[in-house]
Chains A and B, each alone.
Chain A
Amino acid sequence: ETGVTQTPRHLVMGMTNKKSLKCEQHLGHNAMYWYKQSAKKPLELMFVYNFKEQTENNSVPSRFSPECPNSSHLFLHLHTLQPEDSALYLCASSLGTSGSTDTQYFGPGTRLTVL
């Protein structure tokens, strides 16, 4: 599947490192999302971008910094993370903006481990 791609697929980083996660969608969608998936917890919405404008920040710590240069690309910049930030980070996109009920298509995720 190539609709929504994410790199890297796996990332191990120390608490003092700076890294970035990348997401790209090839579906012509207008909205992109970052979710955090931790074991035995619901998917947590972190950020939403509509037409590359951020419309949602669900009280995410500032050590996570999103960037959306265009409607096809989404980044999540990471710095000074904590071990509890270890999780699967999923990117998703939808045709309509997040105020619609269009289907969200997920990428394969980045498995992040913070040592």
Chain B
Amino acid sequence: GENVEQHPSTLSVQEGDSAVIKCTYSDSASNYFPWYKQELGKRPQLIIDIRSNVGEKKDQRIAVTLNKTAKHFSLHITETQPEDSAVYFCAASIMEYGNKLVFGAGTILRVKS
């Protein structure tokens, strides 16, 4: 079936550095790509999303880029802070499943101060 590959599984960066997480998907009809942040013991929360008619979207220190030709999208966090430490999940809408979301396995981001 369709799945979403997410890399890396863990990422450690120094405070102030940038972090990049990448996801690939296989359904060329996918048109919605959200990113969720899940802090330890808390619920996943949407931090940014992008739709297929846009190549890039930015919200303060967070940006997402989408390459529909290559079928991959990335999360970019600049000027990382300790509170950015969490698990980040990407997801893609999969038309085969009636446009439902399929999630990546997650990336554990650790920001060292």
* Chain A residues near B (Cβ < 8 Å): 1, 4, 40-43, 45, 48, 55-56, 90, 98-101, 103-109
13 CB contacts below 8 A, A to B, read A40-B106, A41-B105, A42-B89, A43-B89, A45-B100, A56-B97, A90-B43, A99-B98, A101-B32, A103-B46, A105-B46, A106-B44, A106-B45
Known: A101-B31, A101-B51, A103-B34. A108 touches B42 (CB 8 A): yes
If A42-B103, A98-B100, A99-B98 are given as contacts, then 4 extra A-B residue pairs at C-beta distance below 8 Å, sorted by A number, are: A4-B43, A45-B101, A90-B44, A106-B44
Contact for B43 among A48, A98, A103, A108, CB less than 8 A: A108
* A41 cross-chain contacts in B, Cβ below 8 A: 105
For B, the interface residue count at a CB cutoff of 8 angstroms equals 27
Chain B stretch 57-99: residues in CB contact (< 8 A) with chain A:
89, 91, 93, 97-99
Most B CB contacts (10 A, CB to CB) among A1, A41, A43, A107 go to A43
Shortest Cβ gap from B110 to chain A (Å):
16
* Chain B residues near A (Cβ < 8 Å): 3-4, 9, 31-32, 34, 36, 42-46, 49, 51, 89, 91, 93, 97-106
Shortest Cβ gap from B52 to chain A (Å):
10
* B45 cross-chain contacts in A, Cβ below 8 A: 106
Shortest Cβ gap from B87 to chain A (Å):
10
* A108 cross-chain contacts in B, Cβ below 8 A: 42-43
Shortest Cβ gap from B101 to chain A (Å):
7
The 8 closest A-B pairs by CB, nearest first: A101-B32, A43-B103, A106-B43, A42-B103, A108-B43, A42-B105, A106-B44, A99-B99
Q: Are A109 and B4 in contact (CB under 8 A)?
A: no
* A103 cross-chain contacts in B, Cβ below 8 A: 34, 46, 49
